[in-house]
């Protein structure tokens, strides 16, 4: 039942009930035609986009993957990972129609009625591996984020067939499968930059032993300048492969410290970023960089990241090849599942998660 528009959400329990318990999400809020942003979404002053410096001509590297084994291309990938932590790839091996299909499937999932999406919420989902939700960690956040998502943790084709929503299952599986080629190419290049010339089965399992895909939906927002789509954070992954639509709104922290760079959508491209796990395994050579997403007052936006991760049971720490080469470790060995739990226990807080692994 939608609240009346006169004073819709002064009471937080009414908002939580409508957005979370009934499964309407922020998409439901957006479709009410609210004239003002509910107060629960108003971010502290310092977290708002208007408070930050945007580098107008700034750009993260754009790398052509058509000759990915060329030493020049390999060098540009390793340089981008160490200097920027983010880069875009074009002319990669994931077919454009696969990308278009998964974008269409994302829209189709979020168009489902609230009661259907709500079957996949934390309270109702038959598995932790399939989760429909909103914001990031609502119970830990002082201010909520303007985003809904469906999170799909890949265990097997059988489990996906049994548990994932049928409206997007095949398209997500195809996107993950076709992206694997590119993920392996990138990891091969990045590992060579760390004296790891051969990725054996154990190493592959450590780098990409588990994968999660999120379908993110950022509906248009009243007073977008007062809130965020996603707050400042770095990912906990090895690598993140992001497909974004043509709307834009992703910002990456620049090298100057307090400057932010917009990542412009390029049709057919994928945005790649180093996650905390790779920063730790590379002993700080590759950088996991803060990023954020702004809310949009005019358009709905979607994005589809694949998080390429170690397995929960893996210990992560500086790779033995680096230590054998005489590097002093700056991180300790940590159980990956402990690291991830630490990340999800709190609100987005920039780069603070990585402190958990520092010596």
The predicted structure's pLDDT at residue 5: 45
Residue 5 lies in a domain: no
Residue 302 lies in a domain: yes
Residue 53 lies in a domain: no
Residue 12 lies in a domain: no
Q: How many domains does the chain have?
A: 1
Let me know: does 145 contact 229? Beta carbons within 8 Å: yes
Residue 52 lies in a domain: no
Residue 259 lies in a domain: yes
Q: What CA–CA distance (Å, rounded) separates 95 from 178?
A: 8
Of 167, 154, 105, 103, the closest CA to residue 128 belongs to: 154
The predicted structure's pLDDT at residue 346: 56
Residue 11 lies in a domain: no
268: domain CATH number is: 2.60.120.330
For the segment 281-292, what is each residue's pLDDT rounded down to a tens digit? Answer: 999 999 999 999
Structure tokens at 118: 């709500």
Model confidence band, residue 88 (pLDDT cutoffs 50, 70, 90): very high
Q: What CA–CA distance (Å, rounded) separates 245 from 247?
A: 6
Phi first, then psi, for residue 337 (nearest 5°) are -65, -35
Q: What CA–CA distance (Å, rounded) separates 214 from 152?
A: 6
Residue 4 lies in a domain: no
Averaged over 122-131, what is the pLDDT? 91
Let me know: does 163 contact 130? Beta carbons within 8 Å: yes
Pairing of strands 259-262, 53-54: parallel
For the segment 11-68, what is each residue's pLDDT rounded down to a tens digit? Answer: 778 888 899 889 999 999 999 988 899 888 888 877 776 656 777 778 899 999 999 9
| Polymer length in residues for the chain | 359
Q: What CA–CA distance (Å, rounded) separates 250 from 231?
A: 11
Q: What CA–CA distance (Å, rounded) separates 25 from 131?
A: 13
Q: Which structural domain range is residue 89 located in? A: 23-32+58-357
For the segment 209-248, what is each residue's pLDDT rounded down to a tens digit? Answer: 999 999 999 999 999 999 989 988 899 999 999 999 999 9
Q: Angle, to 10 degrees, between the axis of helix 96-111 and the axis of helix 169-192?
A: 130
Query: Which residues touch 95 (CB under 8 Å, ≥6 apart)?
Result: 178
């Amino acid at each position: 039942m939608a609240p009346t528009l006169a004073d819709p959400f002064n009471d937080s329990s009414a908002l939580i009930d409508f957005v979370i318990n009934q499964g309407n999400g922020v998409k439901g809020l957006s479709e009410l035609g609210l004239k003002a942003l509910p107060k629960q979404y108003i971010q502290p002053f310092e977290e708002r986009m208007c408070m930050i410096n945007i580098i107008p001509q700034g750009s993260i590297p754009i790398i052509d993957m058509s000759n990915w084994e060329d030493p020049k291309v390999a060098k540009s990938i390793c340089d981008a990972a160490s200097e920027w932590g983010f880069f875009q790839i074009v002319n990669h091996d994931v077919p454009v129609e696969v990308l278009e299909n998964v974008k269409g499937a994302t829209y189709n999932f979020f168009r489902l009625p609230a009661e259907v999406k709500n079957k996949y919420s934390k309270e109702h989902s038959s598995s932790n591996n399939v989760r429909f939700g909103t914001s990031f960690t609502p119970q830990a956040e002082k201010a909520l984020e303007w985003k809904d998502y469906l999170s799909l943790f890949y265990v097997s084709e059988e489990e996906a067939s049994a548990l994932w929503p049928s409206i997007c299952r095949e398209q997500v599986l195809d996107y993950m499968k076709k992206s694997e080629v590119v993920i392996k190419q990138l990891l091969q290049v990045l590992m060579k930059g760390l004296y790891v010339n051969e990725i054996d089965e154990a190493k592959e399992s450590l780098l990409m032993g588990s994968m999660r895909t999120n379908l993110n939906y950022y509906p248009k927002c009243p007073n977008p300048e007062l809130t965020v789509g996603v707050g400042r954070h770095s990912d906990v992954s090895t690598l993140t492969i992001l497909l974004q639509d043509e709307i834009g709104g992703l910002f990456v922290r620049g090298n100057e410290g307090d400057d932010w760079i917009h990542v412009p959508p390029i049709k057919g491209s994928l945005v790649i970023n180093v996650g905390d796990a790779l920063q730790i395994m590379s002993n700080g050579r590759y950088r996991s960089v803060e990023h954020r997403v702004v809310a949009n007052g005019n358009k709905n936006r979607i994005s589809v990241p694949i998080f390429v991760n170690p397995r929960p049971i893996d210990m992560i720490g500086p790779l033995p090849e680096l230590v054998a080469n005489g590097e002093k470790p700056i991180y300790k060995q940590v159980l990956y599942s402990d690291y991830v739990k630490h990340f999800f226990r709190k609100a987005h807080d920039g780069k603070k998660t990585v402190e958990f692994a520092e010596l």
